[in-house]
Structure 1
């Protein structure tokens, strides 16, 4: 049985447990890097593909020779090697977008994985629970929701806010039947975080940091820059205690900002999946959209700072994470997700279907069709066009409260949309 849901809780280790978990986190990072380096070396030298089964046997031998591996739980080490196997499998899978497994840096988030058989969970009361980890004992965590299934794996991690315990849970829940709700199109943007075609107002991401937090973050970043300059000039680049404290304070604020952004994303995607039977979104290439404009020494880019600000705004709205969440939430709540080509959605009239750059001059919020005179908010018009394309692609039989044009006027100058390759006929 595989895990089909995740549960994350805030963990509260004691002082001794905190020191042990911190050491284990660095050991896990080092073990990943050593195992990856070993695989790369053997492939380059002998064309030998090393897998976790062989490396687990070598890990058992190494535990008798190296103290830093001996103190590390054997189950966690074996789990890391299995995760490395999965990273390689994802890399070689043409249907997966994963890159080649990368080495983990010291500044990465600390994480210690455990298999489900190695942990035990018990409930203390309505608000608190404990999990028993190998060589650590009972670790308290805030029971903010029921586990609700069989635990298949567990991961202890630390970010800027503190320690967390995550469980991969097998709930056995089956996908819901089609909910029969009306379809919609959603336009994810920067000025408007999300504009739903069935709504009259955009959904805006609330401020992830207050005004005081923004000022404090700016002050800490300036302080860090001064301390880095001093460390490079007088300490040979070695980080001092004050610099590490500043970095930890910045990490706490950025983790808080990420948590608030993640909370809004979950609420948005859950509401969309529950309230609609068909959800159309743009098939965006976020990596291409957020490329740097700095260019090279020979051909430097233009408006580099402005493009960098735009990239931050695009990534701050997390369009890729919203699509990832919609993919599994629509499957769970009986709705359908359709990703349509994004070509000219902001320049296409949702009423007559014509594409004309004059309909939306500049980057204003008003869309005024130069042919039929249709006027609307530019993002809402784009969401209407996305919904129409989604219904033609994968949701023509979905009941709708609004009518989309049956016949669309051919758009002048429309780019060729990506289509599936047609089969070659053989005689």
Structure 2
């Protein structure tokens, strides 16, 4: 049976009763995930046994007979929870997959209910609206913002700060496009300049994901939430009141708006890069290592912790990992090729002569000035040219350059220059 090769996401509009039931189902799915994960960990640690979908399916059937809140959840959705847990374990044991060990889901985790494709049906009402039939709920309307374009293999109903959405895994049967023949480029993803393309003269900057007023309101809501949580712990036995839940909802709405704006810029950027270029070179970044906290330990506390936290937020706001994920499948769709090259010394390598010298990049300024050949350029544009040069070589190696001025990418073998010597050389 063909698998889904494309995703479609639409805004869902359930009734009040249907929304309440979907919310309950979402919490049931979260509880089943946590119980199934705990059972697998216990069975392995205490008895040395490995459980999977087949083994836990028997316990799930028994739980549906004894617990009404489990029986209310459609059987297909409960089985999907165990299938997803199997996939999480498979990804963890796969050395080529970056996933870590499956983790437990908190109550604040995004609510989601999954269904196999055989359990749902879709019918079009008119040009802008359609309905999806969900088990035990019947037909629910959603906004048909684009055609599904294939056979539905799976469905998932989720809720965020803006409301409910339905996502379909669709099999389109689309084959990778032939090479489009467009010119190659290198892209340097950064913070000050969201993306600098080697074939362009100006960087692409992501608009602020929150306006000044929204940032002020978000800060106010976060402070109010902290006060309300403190009050709930002291006087309400840690029970959340309606006012606290309202504050959390308002924060979630702002955060969702911010995430949607970030996703909109990311999709437009990656689509344009894949369509307009035959090869896209990017840095092979280790985002998890780049955004580690600097707080250190009790014995060895870190320095400039708040500054590093602000830098981490700026890096994650530009979503370099998501950009790479989107480029991987969009390049195949549009006849392009994605090449990830080693990221070391791209900001210190001269794109003209190819020599590496940290003194060519003074501080964190925007100017790159080579102390060897006196080449000057925007630091991010220079890095994008170097990324493109590395991507053109087989495997992204930093030697055997094919450019018109061949150079080996290694630090220059010389003594450290003084500032006066650098200035005299530039004159």
Return the TM-score normalized by structure 1. 0.93
Cα shift readout 1:153-207 (whole Å, capped 9, x = no counterpart): 0000001111000000000000000111100000000000000000000000011
Contact 1:42/1:49, CA 8 A, preserved across alignment? yes
Q: Hey, what does 1:74 align to over in structure 2?
A: 75
Cα shift readout 1:79-126 (whole Å, capped 9, x = no counterpart): 111111111111111111111111111000000000000000000111
Contact 1:160/1:253, CA 8 A, preserved across alignment? yes
Cα pair distance change 1:290/1:174, threshold 3 Å: same
The equivalences for 1:346-425 within 5 A come to 346-393=347-394, 404-405=403-404, 407-412=406-411
Q: Hey, what does 1:118 align to over in structure 2?
A: 119
Q: Which moved more, 1:78-87 or 1:236-245?
A: 236-245
The equivalences for 1:260-339 within 5 A come to 260-339=261-340
Whole-angstrom distance in 2 between the partners of 1:98 and 1:149: 29
Whole-angstrom distance in 2 between the partners of 1:34 and 1:193: 42
Q: Hey, what does 1:178 align to over in structure 2?
A: 179
Deviation at 1:394, TM superposition (A): 5.1
Whole-angstrom distance in 2 between the partners of 1:63 and 1:231: 35
Q: Hey, what does 1:49 align to over in structure 2?
A: 50
The equivalences for 1:23-62 within 5 A come to 23-62=24-63
Count the aligned residue pairs: 408
Deviation at 1:307, TM superposition (A): 0.5
Q: Which moved more, 1:208-217 or 1:329-338?
A: 208-217
Deviation at 1:406, TM superposition (A): 5.2
Deviation at 1:393, TM superposition (A): 2.6
Q: Hey, what does 2:133 align to over in structure 1?
A: 132
Structure 2 residue 235 is matched with structure 1 residue 234: yes
Runs of 4+ residues deviating >3 angstroms: 403-406
Whole-angstrom distance in 1 between the partners of 2:201 and 2:346: 18
Q: Hey, what does 1:252 align to over in structure 2?
A: 253
Cα shift readout 1:33-76 (whole Å, capped 9, x = no counterpart): 11111111111222111111222232122211110111110010
Q: Hey, what does 1:224 align to over in structure 2?
A: 225
Contact 1:75/1:114, CA 8 A, preserved across alignment? yes
Contact 2:7/2:170, CA 8 A, preserved across alignment? yes
Match of 2:251, SS? helix
Match of 2:105, SS? coil
Cα pair distance change 1:288/1:191, threshold 3 Å: same
Whole-angstrom distance in 1 between the partners of 2:58 and 2:324: 40
Q: For structure 2, list consecutive stretches of 5 or more residues without a partner in the other structure.
A: 414-427
Contact 2:159/2:165, CA 8 A, preserved across alignment? yes
Cα pair distance change 1:33/1:413, threshold 3 Å: farther
Contact 1:119/1:134, CA 8 A, preserved across alignment? yes
Cα shift readout 1:330-358 (whole Å, capped 9, x = no counterpart): 11111111111111111110000011112
Contact 2:134/2:140, CA 8 A, preserved across alignment? yes
Return the TM-score normalized by structure 2. 0.93
Match of 1:364, SS? coil
Cα pair distance change 1:75/1:410, threshold 3 Å: closer
Whole-angstrom distance in 1 between the partners of 2:320 and 2:276: 20
Q: Hey, what does 2:417 align to over in structure 1?
A: none
Q: Hey, what does 1:197 align to over in structure 2?
A: 198
Q: Hey, what does 1:243 align to over in structure 2?
A: 244
Q: For structure 1, list consecutive stretches of 5 or more residues without a partner in the other structure.
A: 397-402, 415-427
The equivalences for 1:141-220 within 5 A come to 141-220=142-221
